[in-house]
Amino acid sequence: MPLLIDRKLVTDDSWQLVEEADSLPQSGDLLVPLALYLEQKEALDAHSDRLAVKVNGDDDLTPVLSDLERFPMIAIEFPIFRDGRGFSLARILRRAGYKGELRAVGQPARDQLGYMERCGINAFEFDDESYSDDFLKAFDEISVRYQGSADDPRPIYLQN
């Protein structure tokens, strides 16, 4: 799966998605759904390698917000094009002070990349069929932005 991190194509990704408790490996960088993390918190906290969570628009972020420093990466699920709750989740996490990698997973669309980045998402995972090198151009297509955001909190009248 193609992965863009900080606008660069990355070929190696150490994170392995684990969806069920009985398939938890003993080592490696694990990405687990928030529900699984909450269910297996003690076992996962003992995990020696890095741990990340995957959240979606139905999840309550309270447990994640209280433990932000635990996660070097948080994946935000975008299940379909018209589901914009991931944008709000990214803003909430960045406003809470999260400094790690925020990764859009699922169905991030080319037209949304610039907006996702402005909300604080800095990594994007695509299906092999949907990705094109043209996606890199999407970040700079809109050059004037009136409102502040995660990448520049100043409104346009305070920008030079």
User: What is 3-158's CATH number?
Assistant: 3.20.20.70
Residue 76 bridge partners (DSSP):
55, 104
Burial (0-12, 13-18, 19+ Cβ within 10 Å), 30:
buried
* Cα–Cα distance, 28 to 7 (Å, whole number): 25
pLDDT digits (tens, 9 = 90+) for 22-62: 777 777 899 999 999 999 888 887 776 799 999 999 999 99
Q: Domain residues of the chain, as ranges?
A: 3-158
pLDDT digits (tens, 9 = 90+) for 80-124: 878 889 999 999 999 999 999 999 998 888 888 888 898 999 999
Write down the pTM of the prediction: 0.85
Residue 31 bridge partners (DSSP):
17, 52
